[in-house]
Amino acid sequence: MHEKVMIMTQSSLLPFVLLSPLVGSVVLLFVPSWRVRTIKSIALCTSVITFLASLFLWVFFNSSLSKFQFMYTFDWLPLSNIQCTLGIDGISLFFVLLTTFLTPICILTGWMSVTKYVREYTIAFLVMESLTIAVFCMLDLLLFYVFFESVLIPMFVIIGVWGSRERKIRAAYQFFIYTLFGSVLMLLAILLIYFQAGTTDLHILLATEFSERRQILLWLAFFASFAVKVPMVPVHIWLPEAHVEAPTAGSVVLAGIMLKLGTYGFLRFSIPMFPEATLYFTPLIYTMSVIGVMYASLTTVRQIDMKKIIAYSSVAHMAFVTLGLFSLNVQGIEGALLLMLSHGLVSGALFLCVGVLYDRHKTRLVKYYGGCVHTMPVFAVLFLFFTMGNISLPGTSSFIGEFLVLLGVFQSNTFITVLAATGMVLGGAYSLWLYNRVVFGTFKPSYLSTFSDVNRREFFVFLPFVVGVLWMGLYPEVFLDPMHASVSTIVQHGKFS
Amino acid sequence: MTSQFLQLFENDLLALLPEVFLITSAIILLMYGVIWSTSQAHGYPILITNVGWLSLFVLSVAGLLVLHNPITTMVVLYNSLVVDQFSTLLKVVVLLSAFCSICISFEYFADERINAFEYIVLLLLSTCSMLLMVSSYDLISMYLAIEFQSLCFYVIAASKRTSEFSTEAGLKYFVLGAFSSGILLFGCSLLYGFTGVTNFEDLAKIFTGYAELPMLTSSGILIALIFLAVGFLFKITAAPFHMWAPDVYEGAPTCVTAFFAITPKVAVLGMFLRLFFSSFYDLMGPWQKIIVLCSLASMIVGALGAISQTKIKRLLAYSSIGHVGYLLIGFACGSVEGVQALLLYLIIYVIMTVNMFSAVLSLRTQGEGLRVKYLSDLSGLSRSNPILAFTLTMTLFSMAGIPPLAGFCSKFYVFFAALGSSMYVLAVVGVLTSVLSCFYYIRLVKVMYFETPHVWVSYAPMDKEKAVLLGLTLFFTMFFFVYPSPLFLLTHEIALSICL
C-alpha cells in the first residue's frame, strides 16, 4: 500500500512540476490587474511551490540508474507513434531544478522595478517556466522541438514590453528571427528521422542506426538550431542585443535557462543519436568554441555597457561548455554540465548586480560608475563574490566546471586545451577590469547623486546564489553523483571511449 | 406516373435535402425581405439584421441536415452529384464558415448603414452553390456550381455602391473571374472532346493506367489538364494567378472580404481535390508539376509581397496567398498524408481566419466609427484593448506557425506529408518562407505592443457575437495542441475515403 502511494506520487510529480506554473498563471488571469500585491504574492507562491516540488525530484532521484525516471506518458497523436513522454535523467534533473530555482528569483527581481503590466509580467515568467521545464523533460523529439520553439513567444514579449530602451524592438526582432531561422531546419530533420525510424520517441531513436551520410546531414540541421541558441560565435549576435535590452529578470532567464537549451540539445540529441557525425564534426566544434572563447573574451574587454560585458562573457563560457561536451569523455561532459549550472547561477547573479545598479542610477555605462565601495559596501562584497565566480576562482562552482572541462579536452586535444586555457586569463582580465571601474576608484558625484545599498529583498535574492555557488564549488559531489550514470551511458553508447 | 417519378428520385431528394432546404429558405427569405422592406404600412423597415439572424438559423438547420442525412454515400441525379464522407465533412466546414462570417458582420451592416438584405440572400445562395461544388461529380455540374458561386460573389464584392473601391473591386473580380471560368470551361470542353465523357467516374475509368501507355498520351488531354488546373488556381488565388486577390480583398467591404477569405477556398479545394484525385490520379505526373510550381510561387509571393504592405486587408490578402501555397503542398503530395494535411490545414486556416477577421471587423473608433485601415492604426492596442491585442497576437503567431499554437500543427503536418512523398524542395522552401512570413506577422505584434501611437484611439466595444467567436477560436488556436487526436483521426478517415 505504502509502496503504491509512493509510485503514484513519483509518477505524478513531474507533471505536477510542469503544470503548476501554468495553473498559477491561469489563476492570475482572473485576478484584476490593479491588485498588484495579490498578483505578485500568487505568482511568488506558485513558483516557490514549484521549486519545492522540484526539490522532491532530486530527493527521490535514484542516482545509480542511468535510465529515465519519473516517467509519464500521454497519448498525443494516435496512428503515428508520437507520444508525449516525460521523464528525467541525471542530465535534465539539474536543468529542471535550475529553472524552478530561477523563476521565483525573476519574480522577486521585478517586485518593485516592474510597474506596468505586472500581471502580464508574472504570467509571462510562469508560462516560460512551464515551457522550459517541458523542454528539459520531454522525451519525444517532435514535442521537444515544439517546446524548444515555443519559448520564443514569451521571451519576445518580455524583451519587447519590459525592455528598457527603444532599441529593444530591434533586439526582440533579432532574437526572434535568428532563433527561428536556426531552428526550422531542425523540424525538417526531425521529420526525416521520423520517416526512417517511424517514431520520434527518444528511447527508440537512441537505438536506431542512421547511415553516416544521413547522420551528417541531420547533425548539421540540428547544429544550425542549437548553435544559435548556445550561441556559438558566428551566430551569437542576437545575444548581446537581447541581453542588453531585456529587463533584469529577462536577462537572468536568458542567461540562466535559454542558453542551456542549446547545449542541452547537443548533449541529449546530437551526441547520442549521431555518434559518427559527432566524431566527424568534433574538430569543427573545437575550432568554433576556441574562437568563441578567445573572441568573446577579447570583445568583452572593449565593451562599455555592463550588461554587454556580462553577455559576452556568457558567450565565452558557453563556448567552454561546448568544448567540454564534445570532448566526449565523462570528465569533460560532466564538467560542461557543471559549468552550465554554475554559469546559470553566476551570470544570473551578475545580471542581478547590474540590475541593482540600474534600478538606482538608470544607466549601465561603466564610465558613470566608480567608487561604489564607499557607498554600497554590501553590494561591493556581493559583486566581488560573483566576479570571482565568473573568473572561476577555486572554491567557486565555475572552477570545478572549467577544470573538468579542461581535463576532458586535454585527453583528446592538448593544443585546443592550451588555447582554451587563455580564456581563463582573459576572463580574469575583463572581470577584474569591470569590477575595478565600478567598485573602486574615485566616485563620481557629478553623475551619481543618490546612494542606497542593497535592501533586504535584494539581499535575499542574492543569498541563494551565494549558497549555490559555494556549495557547488566546495562539495560538487552532490551534483556530480546523479549525473554520473547518465553521462557514462552517453559516452559508452556512442563508443567514444 | 407521378408516384413512379417520386420513387425514382426519392433517394436523390433525400441525399440533397440540405441543398434543397437551403435554396428554399433562401427564396423564402428573399420573398419575405422584398415584401416587408417595401411595405409602407411598416415604414419601409431595414431588414438586414433580421434576415441575417434568420439566415443563421437556416445555416444551422442545413448543417444538422448534412450531419444527419440518412444517405451517407451515394451518387445521385444521373451521376452528376455525389454524397460521401468527404463531401459531408467539407459541407459542414463550409456551412460553419458561412455561419461565422455572417455572424461577425452584423455590426458592420448596422454601422455602415447597409440597407440590402439581398446581401444575406446572396450569401446563402453562394453557400448553397458551394455545397453543390463540394459534391459535384461531373464536369458540367462542377462548372455550373462554380459559376453559380462566382456570380453571387461578383455581386457582393461590388455591393457597396457608394464606394469607388468596392465597385472597382467588383469589376476586377468579375473580369478576372469570368476569364478564369472561361479557361476552366475550355479545359472541360477539350476534355469532353477528347474523351467523350464528362463524368468523374467515367474519366477515372478512361485514365486508369493511362500513363503507362505513352503512345496513347494525347497532348490534347494534357492541354485540357493544364487549362483545368489554371482555372482552379485562379479561383483559389494561387501565385501566378493571384493578381486580383489583394485588390479585391482591399476594395470589397470588410465583411465581404471576410467571407471571401474564409469560405470559398474550402469548397474549391475540395472539388478539385476530388477531380484530380479520383479522375486524374494516373495523370499525376503532369498536374503535380503545375501544383508544385504554383505552391512554391504562392509561398514566396505570400511571404515577400506582404512585407511592404501598410494596409491590413492587403496584408491579409498576401497572407492568405501564402497559406494557399501551404495548402497546395498537401495537394501536390498526392498521398493520403497529403490530403489529410490539406484538410487539417484547411480547417485550422478557417478557424484562424475567422478569428483574424472578427478582430479586424471589430476595430472601429468610438464616435465616428472609422475603421482600421492601416497597420499603424493598431498602435497602442495593447493598452487600449489588451485582451483583443492578446488574441490578435496569438492568432498572428499561430498563422506564422510558431509552436505550440494550432497553426504550427497544421504546417508541421504539411511538411510531414511533403517529406513523406519526397518533396524536399517544397518542404525546405515552405519552412524558409514560413520564417520570412514571421517578419510581417511579428510586425503587427510590434505595432500593437511596442509602439506608442501619435493619436490615441478609443475603440468602440465589440458586440457579443464577435466576442464569442473570438473567444472560441482563440481557445481552439491555443489549446488545439494539447489534444489534437480527434481532428487528426477525422481528417485521416476522410483522406482515406477519398484516396482509396
Name the residue in chain B with its Cα closest to that of A186: B431
**Which residues touch A257 (CB under 8 Å, ≥6 apart)?**
A95, A98, A99, A102, A132, A344
Nearest to A188 by CA among A233, A224, A153, A158: A224
- What is the number of alpha carbons within 13 Å of residue A208 lying toward its C-beta? 21
Q: Residue B54: what pLDDT?
A: 92
Amino acid type, B198 = T
Question: Which residues of B fall within a CB distance of 8 Å from A77?
Answer: 484-485, 488
User: What is the rounded average pLDDT of the residues A188-207?
Assistant: 89
Average pLDDT rounded to a whole number, residues A476-489: 91
Interchain contact, B446 vs A149, CB within 8 Å: no
Whether B450 sits inside 8 A of A180 (CB atoms) is: no
Candidate from B404, B431, B449 with C-beta closest to A146? B404
Residue A290 sits in which domain range?
Answer: 274-496
Q: Determine the 3-state secondary structure of B70 from DSSP.
A: coil
DSSP state of B81: E
Q: Specify the pLDDT at position A1.
A: 57
Cell digits of residue B270: 475540395
Q: Which chain A residue lies closest to B438 (C-alpha atoms)?
A: A177
DSSP for B345-362 reads: HHHHHHHHHHHHHHHHHH
Domain spans of chain B?
Answer: 1-499
pLDDT band at B113 (very low <50, low <70, confident <90, very high): confident
Report the C-alpha gap between A24 and A46 in whole angstroms.
Answer: 6
Q: What percent of chain A has pLDDT over 70?
A: 99
Residue A318, C-alpha cell as written in the block: 558557453
Residue A238, classified by CB atoms within 10 Å of its CB into exposed (0-12), middle (13-18) or buried (19+), is: buried
Give the C-alpha separation, A405 to A335, whole Å. 5
Report which of residues B246 and B3 the model is more confident about. B246
Structure confidence at residue B331 (pLDDT): 92
**Residues in CB range of A77: below 8 A, 6 or more apart:** A83, B484, B485, B488
Average pLDDT, chain B: 88
Cross-chain Cβ contact B419/A192 below 8 Å: yes
Closest Cα to residue A323, out of A420, A427, A225, A224? A420
CA nearest neighbour of A315 among A202, A393, A239: A239
Residue B448 in this model has a pLDDT that exceeds 70: yes
Mean pLDDT rounded to a whole number for chain A: 89
Binding-site residues on chain A for chain B (CB distance < 8 A): 75-79, 120, 142, 145-147, 149-150, 152-153, 156-157, 160-161, 168-169, 172-173, 176-177, 180-181, 184-185, 187-188, 191-192, 194-195
Q: Is B435 in Cβ contact with A188 (below 8 Å)?
A: no
User: Which residue among A77, A149, A172 sits closest to B402, beta carbon to beta carbon?
Assistant: A149
Name the pLDDT band for A135 (thresholds 50, 70, 90).
Answer: very high
**Chain B: residue nearest A131 by CA?**
B404
Q: How far is A101 from chain B (nearest CA, A)?
A: 25
Residue B15 has pLDDT above 80, yes or no: yes
Q: Quick one: average pLDDT of B175-191?
A: 93
Q: Domain for residue A196, yes or no?
A: no
Residue pair B154/B252 in contact (Cβ under 8 Å)? The answer is no
Separation of alpha carbons B55 and B121, rounded Å? 8
Q: Mean pLDDT, to the nearest integer, of A443-470?
A: 85
Q: CB within 8 A of A80, min separation 6: which ones?
A: none
Q: What is the mean pLDDT of residues A317-324?
A: 93
pLDDT at B1 over 90: no
Check residue B127 and give its pLDDT: 95
For chain B, the first-to-last Cα distance in angstroms comes to 40
CB contact under 8 A, B420 and A79: no
Return the pLDDT at A495. Answer: 81
Burial A33-63 (b: 16+ CB within 10 A, else e): eeebeebbebbbebbebbbebbeebbeebeb
Backbone φ and ψ of B380, nearest 5°? 85, 5
For CA atoms B105, B107, B112, B117, give the dihedral sign.
positive
If you measure CA to CA, which chain A residue comes closest to B422? A192
Binary contact (B416, A191; C-beta < 8 A): yes
pLDDT score for B4: 65
Angle between helices B164-195 and B200-207 (to 10 degrees): 50
Rounded Cα gap, residues B94 and B262, in angstroms: 9
Report, as an integer, the average pLDDT of B374-388.
84
Would you state the pLDDT for residue B217?
A: 62
- In A, minimum Cα distance to B417 occurs at A191
CB-nearest partner of A184 from B431, B442, B484: B431
pLDDT tens for each residue of A24-61: 999 988 988 888 888 889 999 999 999 999 999 998 88
Closest chain A residue by Cα to residue B492: A79
Question: Distance (Å) from the C-alpha of residue A415 to the closest C-alpha of chain B?
Answer: 39
Residue B9's pLDDT band (boundaries 50, 70, 90)? low
CA atoms within 13 A on the CB side of A320: 38
Look at residue A332 and tell me whether its pLDDT is greater than 90: yes
How many percent of chain A have pLDDT more than 90? 46
CA angle (A244 as vertex; A242, A245 as ends), nearest 5: 65
Confidence of residue B8 (pLDDT cuts 50, 70, 90): low
pLDDT above 70 covers a percentage of chain B that reads 96
Judge contact between B466 and B358, C-beta under 8 A: yes
Domain count, chain A: 1
Omega before B453 within 30 of 0, i.e. cis = no
Query: Residue B184: is its pLDDT beyond 60?
Result: yes
What integer pLDDT is reported at residue B5 of this predicted model?
63
Asked casually if ipTM beats, i.e. exceeds, 0.95, the reply is no
- Cα-based distances in Å from A19 to A15, A31, A126, A133, A203: 6, 19, 10, 9, 24
A267 pLDDT higher than 70: yes
| CA–CA dist B27, A112 (Å, integer) | 65
Residue B245 in grid coordinates:
486577390
Confidence of residue A21 (pLDDT cuts 50, 70, 90): very high
B428-453 average pLDDT score: 86
Interchain pair A77, B434: CB under 8 A = no
- Chain B's closest residue to A182, CA to CA, is B435
Confidence band for A12, pLDDT divided at 50, 70 and 90: confident
Q: If we measure between CA atoms, which residue out of A327, A341, A310 comes closest to residue A438?
A: A310
Tell me the mean pLDDT in the region A124-146: 91
Cβ–Cβ under 8 Å, residues B187 and B231: yes
**pLDDT (tens digit per residue) in A367-420:** 888 888 888 889 999 999 999 999 989 999 999 999 999 999 999 889 999 999
Provide the pLDDT for residue B2.
Answer: 61
- Residue-wise pLDDT tens digits, B136-168: 999 999 999 999 999 999 998 888 888 888 899
- Measure B484 CA to nearest chain A CA, in Å: 7
Pick the closest to residue B450 from A190, A158, A133, A43 (CA basis): A158
Q: Is A78 close to B420, i.e. CB distance below 8 A?
A: no
Write out pLDDT tens, residues B320-332.
Answer: 999 999 999 999 9
Interface test with B, best of A34, A188, A261 (most B CBs within 10 A): A188
Chain A with chain B: Cβ pairs closer than 8 A: 76
| Cα distance between residue A344 and residue A252, in whole Å | 8
B446 pLDDT above the threshold of 90: no
Interface probe, candidates B381, B395, B431, chain A, greatest A C-beta count within 10 A = B431
Q: For chain B, give the percent of residues with pLDDT over 90.
A: 47
State the residue for C-alpha cell 469589376: B171
